[in-house]
Chains A and B, each alone.
Chain A
Amino acid sequence: MNMLNLTVHAMLALPLVVLAANNLLAKQTARKIALYVCAAVAFFQIASSVTLFVMYTRYGITHYDFNIFDPGQVSADYFSVNRLDLFLMVCIGIVVFVSVMLALETIKDHKRSYVNLLMCLLLGMNGMVMATDLFSLYVFLEIVGITSFVMIAMFRSKVGLEGSFKYLVVSSLGIVLLLSGLALIFMQTGTLDFKAIGESLLDTQDSSRRALTYSAVVLMISGFAVKAGAVPFHSWLPDAHQSADTAVSVLLSGIVIKIAGIYGLIVVLDLFGSLEAVRIIYQVIGLVSTITGAVLAARQHHFKRIAAYSSVSQMGYIILALSSGTTLGVVGAAAHIFSHAIFKSTLFSNAAAIHEEVGVLDVTKLGGLEKKMPITAFSSVIAFLSTAGVPPFCGFWSKLLIVIALWKSGDTVWAGAALAASIFTAVYFLRLQRKVFFGKLADGMQDVREAKNSIGFIEAALTAVTVGAGLLFPFALQYLQTAGII
């Protein structure tokens, strides 16, 4: 158990250590090695989370509780790690790693600030998934949020500040909603501990108390929906994603909206899943986001905006998966979080590659880049097919799991609608492919070259993961079955 204890502590402590070291070292040294250290931290997180997952399954551990504030005090467990948390931490690790790989090429100034903020963000996200009470969850959520604002605005461009400000304003609204929800719950129960609130709130027959509970749930869902960029709270997301540096947008789109938003919704489902209202809200938000995001994506001209709206649409799928309220639904959601992390990271890496090599991201000005940038073009096709749920890639399987979960819980109409909505995804990505890669070379692009070093590497690596995970997915299902999860 020592290794387990050490590892989970390390996941919270390492970001802090790196953060301190980054600022203590001489500026020149830090500039040289800090990014590589971040990559190592991310890699450590991926490797150790996978190892722990396997260990949990082998020894039949469902969760591990620990605390760092009052060591030795038995009853005070501030953190808990179960297999879902570990899986999410793998996703976090992957996206952070991708971000660092992109940053190696795209970020020239403010390297030190980037590293500081990245480590804060990592800490915030790890803390969120490990938290065992709503207030800690909120605190870590704020760390994630504030770090994101600064990261978007870090380069002090006008659009960056605007996008960041918009995010800040909308996000504050979300936080207010969330905090009000927490207050309503605290008012009734006197605690925000996950273990204590569920039953005590739902057992009552008192109608006014029930009304308070319902209000709290709705407020919390709204708060997290803002963070997830779900419709109707999505307006901040494209602006924020577009204006940030690509190494930052990949973080936002690839993982932050999922940990800050979707994970919150998972927690709400966990606590209040027995309320029919929660499932209905998830269904509506999910389907509306799926369709709206895809339709809006088909009208954008900026590569990153298309990818951003695509995220709105994919968050819709994940929320729909949660609406089934079953374990299979959560597994489907987690699988889609993983697929989305991979293919959306690929797409943002493509954006970074095009931005570095061509300099513009307006799709109407690009064209026929496949000959000049074969790796980028190939990886974007694979990522697009995975997004659209075309087999045999990873995205297909996670979408299939979602549909099966919905079907099994009796929500056949929602499942059918979700499947049919995939066609919108295909439509906007076909448009993107046609404008950017598939076709005749646009004027003035004769000298464009393939993406350099780390960007090209990460594109190829992510594509391998999408294809590999797609081909091996049935085996993953088999593993999950033997592990007793599905």
Chain B
Amino acid sequence: MNSNILIAGVCTPLFGAFLLVLLGKINQKLRNACSLAFVGVSLCCAVAALVSLLNGNVLAAGPWEFPLGLTFGFRADALAVFMALTACVVSMIIIIYSYGYIKEYPNQNEYYMMVTLFIGAMTGLVYSTNLIMIYIFWEISSLCCWRLIGFYREEMMIRRADKAFVVTVLGALVMLIGFMGVYGEYGTFDLNVLSGRSIPSWCVWCILCGILSKSATFPLHSWLPDAGVAPSPVTSLLHAAVLVKIGVFAYVRLFVKCFEVDEIFTTAVPVIAAVSALVSAGAALKANDIKRVVAYSTISQLAFILLGLSCGNEVGTVGGLLYILAHSVAKGGLFLCCGIVEHAVHTKDMSKISGMIKTMPKTAVAFILCALSVMGIPPFSGFFAKYLVIEAIVQTGQLWIAAVFIVGAVMTVMYLVRLFVKVFLGKPSFPKAKEGSPVMVASVLLLGVLALVLGFVIAAPTQLAMEVI
């Protein structure tokens, strides 16, 4: 019975996604509702796993033994539950937002199918106990990303979708080479067996390639800003809230929870993260496309997450995980706000937009709430996460890296304030622009409030994150 919960949580969205295409031909409302319901099933399963976990009972399905070290299985440990809950909650809000945003475009069947399929892949990935399973779900998510970036079917967008696909798939292939290295050493892909083993450094580098490409970290980051041509809910779901977290999740799953890796990586990875944080924050300050600013900001914030996770101490891991949660909520919200603005004025060039606070006050409020959380202002959830991450790197004694990240944090404040001032303040450039539809505004407000409320109840997720260690 217990094992069925996890299987249901993964398979419902994964296979249900294909059902949506058929449902869409019958009734669009039904399709939309089912899409939400399938993700809801996933969420319920994650909650069930959480309850079981709190009772000291880790849910698991399998293992199913196959030859060649392919022992498959699902396991809902604290890390998996944490990620699944974060992903499902944010995804559900984004799907609700899509009801308003997507309704006037063609290819909706494909849209809902790909979004649901992606969430299925995401939940599958977090519960996986086998390197090959991780790779399989990883690639399914790339596939969804490819179709969704090309949603509007313009030549330029398809090229960018192709770029995102090529970069992430190349990273994943290199990662697979790393997995093969591990396999060559121990003869299995099963993480339960591999737990606590030390792996060669070249394997770590290979796997890092995959992680950096998926989590859009310098130098494999350039696909993410380009992917902003996708519809805003897609950018929000894939390129801010959930998909880009796959990379950092894999970092925790493999290098914190499973393998013993060389000391050098507690310095090397923070350095990569530091470069990534600075470069992208600088780019965010220069960019003029509102979605590009937020995308560069995502790259910069992902560097903070990676920093926390790679410090090699407990504070860092907890901080990194909280950051994943806080950033998913807040950055997801920011992208959705940008989506509402873009939807209303049909441009993403911030030099042409101003004074939107007059015409869309509710969106502006949501934007402020989310932006404050991303900046790390207390008492928003983002503050606690950012504080813990910086604290962790200070604890390791690498003060200059901490200094770089503090500069990065200041730049975050600068570019978000710049964005807000340019877009929302000043003389209204589109006085006739209308506020987004009620579901859209409600979902961004929900995310904004969630970013704030999470700050007050930060103890609960912290406790769960502590369980991970």
Contact = CB atoms under 8 A, between A and B. Distances in A.
Contact of B165 (A404, A430, A478): A430
A422 interface: yes
A430 B66 contact: no
Nearest to B157: A439
Of listed A401, A420, A431, residue having the most chain B CB within 10 A? A420
A478 B155 CA distance: 44
A423 B169 CA distance: 7
Interface string B152-169: 011100110110011001
B66 A478 contact: yes
Nearest to B187: A408
Nearest to B176: A419
A377 B111 CA distance: 16
Contacts of B143: 385, 390
A430 B173 contact: no
Contacts of B181: 412
A36 B156 CA distance: 46
Contacts of B430: none
B67 A486 contact: yes
B387 interface: no
Given A391-B140, A404-B180, A440-B155, A430 B162 contact: yes
Contacts of B413: none
B170 A423 contact: yes
A186 interface: no
Interface stretch (B131-139, B226-234, B446-454): B131-139
Interface in A439-463: 439-440
A391 B138 CA distance: 9
Contact of A426 (B67, B166, B184): B166
B173 A423 contact: yes
B459 interface: no
B154 A440 contact: yes
B173 A422 contact: yes
Contacts, number: 85
Contact of B158 (A392, A407, A434, A475): A434
Contacts of A368: 153
Contacts of A404: 68, 180, 183
Contact of A391 (B64, B68, B139, B165): B139
A396 B173 CA distance: 11
Contact of A440 (B153, B173, B184): B153
Nearest to A328: B68
Contact of A481 (B67, B72, B162): B67
Contact of B173 (A419, A475, A477): A419
A426 B70 contact: no
A400 interface: yes
B270 interface: no
A391 B135 contact: yes
A173 B161 CA distance: 45
B174 interface: yes
A430 B162 CA distance: 6
Nearest to A420: B173
Contacts of B159: 434
Nearest to A408: B184
B67 A480 contact: yes
Contact of A439 (B139, B142, B155, B184): B155
Contacts of A431: 162
Interface residues of A, number: 35
A440 B161 CA distance: 14
A212 interface: no
A468 interface: no
B13 to A, nearest CB: 15
Contacts of B142: 390
Of listed A391, A396, A404, A422, residue having the most chain B CB within 10 A? A391
B177 interface: yes
A402 to B, nearest CB: 11
A455 B142 CA distance: 30
Interface string A299-332: 0000000000000000000000000000000000
Contact of B153 (A392, A407, A439): A439
B332 interface: no
Interface in B177-199: 177, 180-181, 183-184
A115 to B, nearest CB: 38
Interface of B: 64, 66-68, 70, 72, 132, 135-136, 139-140, 142-143, 150, 153-155, 158-159, 161-162, 165-166, 169-170, 173-174, 176-177, 180-181, 183-184
Given A474-B66, A474-B70, A478-B67, 19 more contacts: A390-B142, A391-B140, A396-B139, A412-B181, A415-B177, A415-B180, A416-B177, A420-B177, A423-B166, A423-B169, A427-B166, A430-B162, A434-B159, A438-B161, A439-B154, A439-B155, A474-B72, A477-B70, A481-B67
Closest 9 CB pairs of A and B: A391-B136, A481-B67, A474-B66, A430-B162, A416-B177, A423-B170, A434-B158, A477-B67, A391-B139
Interface of A: 368, 385, 388, 390-392, 396, 400-401, 403-404, 407-408, 412, 415-416, 419-420, 422-423, 426-427, 430-431, 434, 438-440, 474-475, 477-478, 480-481, 486
24 contacts: A390-B143, A391-B135, A396-B136, A400-B132, A403-B180, A404-B68, A404-B180, A407-B184, A412-B181, A415-B177, A416-B177, A419-B176, A420-B174, A422-B173, A423-B170, A426-B169, A430-B166, A434-B155, A438-B158, A440-B155, A474-B64, A474-B66, A477-B66, A486-B68
